[in-house]
Amino acid sequence: MRVGLLTREYPPDVYGGAGVHVEFLARELRSLVDLEVHCWGEGRTDGVLRHRSWPSLDGANDALRTFSVDLAMAAALQGRELVHSHTWYANLGGHLAKLLYGIPHVVTAHSLEPLRPWKAEQLGGGYALSSWAERTAYEAADAVIAVSGAMRDDILECYPALDPARVHVVHNGIDTALYRPDPGTDALDRIGLDRSRPYVLFVGRITRQKGVPHLLRAVRDIDPAAQVVLCAGAPDTPEIDREFRELYDELSRVRDGVHWIPQMLPRPEVIQLLTHAAVFACPSVYEPLGIVNLEAMACGTAVVASRVGGIPEVVDDGRTGLLVDLDDDFEAALTRALDAVLGDPDTARAMGEAGRERAVTEFGWDAVARRTAGLYEEIGEQA
């Protein structure tokens, strides 16, 4: 089957979980279907076509610029037999291709605009456009893939016009040959970490969704022997960037061993940091699945995460980490959970080993790709 895969992010331009998902899904799908990837950027190489927004829209609202990329993608999809789009940035392109060429459209839901009202800070009136594009694509799609059971529930709640039979759960995956414990420490030394002290690690974007301000307040009161490493960049807005910097400065004044890494690190360095962390922290307020938790588990590290969305489908509370309820006591509970792991290295080690085993046995990308290709075939037969 000739499939067009539409995405904003694709290597080397990957900054979030959706981009990681598409990267590995595409890699595995290439042996199963005739795959052509359409993404943002410039140029064409090895079955990857990159598209940029129209120069005449430079300086326009980001949603309008996105739609111009979607139009370019749709125009380039002639000859494809099915189109599969990821995130609202590409959903409209998939919907237009469905209408233009009469081909099935599959959508993978990584997040939902109705559940991310803070995006209005970033997009302004463009948030109404992104919400319209997502709703239009979802309600007309031949199939919607949810990356977790919790995500499926959210989709059907947000878009009740959808036939539940068209919404399928295919969990995110992890490459456990790539994400595995790395005994090397050169990345730690380059950053300046004290290898005699444990550290709490966060990896993610500076966005409301990831709950970074909650973590910055929670780690103020953890064991003073612990270091804090924040691999945090790509702020959504100047406002949240300013809030993060103020909280970081405040945290740095009250405790030592706080390290902020704003630039995107090479994957091998991230794997080293994940491997040697005493605990990985995921304080998200909204998370359809939380692929970064899988990455930490695959590297043999215990996870402390918020009990939201699909995270409980990944982090086995008490076995591979600890889950914290997102309520009025969230930050204090986050402090207690982090201290519980930091204070019991033997249990933390056992959690890390169990997390690695769970990642290997339940979340392999080959299985994800096979299930996705099977859905393509099923949809194609119905078309």
Output the average pLDDT for the chain.
94
Full-prediction pTM beyond 0.85? no
What number is the average pLDDT over the span 192-220? 95
For the chain, report the end-to-end CA distance as a whole number of angstroms. 13
Angle at 286 between CA 284 and CA 289, to 5 degrees: 90
pLDDT at position 258 is 97
- Three-class secondary structure of residue 304 per DSSP: strand
What number is the average pLDDT over the span 229-245? 92
Q: Is the pLDDT of residue 40 over 90?
A: yes
What number is the average pLDDT over the span 82-95? 97
Q: Is the pLDDT of residue 337 over 90?
A: yes
Q: Strand 143-146 and strand 105-109: pairing?
A: parallel
Q: In which band, very low, low, confident or very high, does the pLDDT at 44 lie, cut at 50, 70 and 90?
A: confident
Q: Is the pLDDT of residue 101 over 90?
A: yes
Instruction: Assess contact for 283 and 212: CB atoms under 8 A.
Output: yes
pLDDT at position 292 is 93
Instruction: Assess contact for 165 and 175: CB atoms under 8 A.
Output: no
pLDDT at position 183 is 96
Using only the alpha carbons of the chain, give its radius of gyration: 21
CB half-sphere exposure, 292, CA atoms < 13 A: 27
- The CB density around residue 49, as the number of other CB atoms within 10 Å, is 17
What number is the average pLDDT over the span 341-351? 98
pLDDT tens digit string along 289-324? 888 999 999 999 999 999 998 899 999 999 999 999
Instruction: Assess contact for 259 and 227: CB atoms under 8 A.
Output: yes
Q: Is the pLDDT of residue 383 over 90?
A: no
pLDDT at position 176 is 93
What number is the average pLDDT over the span 242-266? 95
Instruction: List the domains of the chain with CATH numbers.
Output: 2-173+364-382 (3.40.50.2000), 186-362 (3.40.50.2000)
d(CA 117, CA 107): 21
d(CA 102, CA 61): 30
- Cβ burial 144-170 (10 Å sphere, 16+ → b, else e): bbbbbebbbebbbebbeebeeebbbbb
What number is the average pLDDT over the span 95-117? 94
pLDDT tens digit string along 144-165? 999 989 899 999 999 999 999 9
Select the more confidently predicted residue: 119 or 88: 88
Query: In the chain, what percentage of residues exceed pLDDT 90?
Result: 83
Whose tokens are 């420490």? That residue is 185
pLDDT at position 43 is 81
d(CA 117, CA 122): 10
pLDDT at position 289 is 82
pLDDT at position 191 is 94
Helical ranges in the chain per DSSP H: 17-29, 62-75, 88-101, 119-123, 126-140, 149-158, 186-191, 212-218, 238-254, 267-276, 291-298, 330-342, 345-362, 365-382
Phi-psi region of 223 (alpha: psi -120 to 50; beta: other; left: phi over 0): beta
pLDDT tens digit string along 169-189? 998 889 999 999 999 999 999
Q: In which band, very low, low, confident or very high, does the pLDDT at 79 lie, cut at 50, 70 and 90?
A: very high
Q: Is the pLDDT of residue 122 over 80?
A: no
Question: Which of the residue ranges 11-20, 184-193, 325-334 would you say has the lowest mean pLDDT?
Answer: 11-20
Query: Could you tell me which residues come within 8 angstroms of residue 220 by beta carbon, excluding any fewer than 6 positions away?
Result: 251, 254, 255, 335
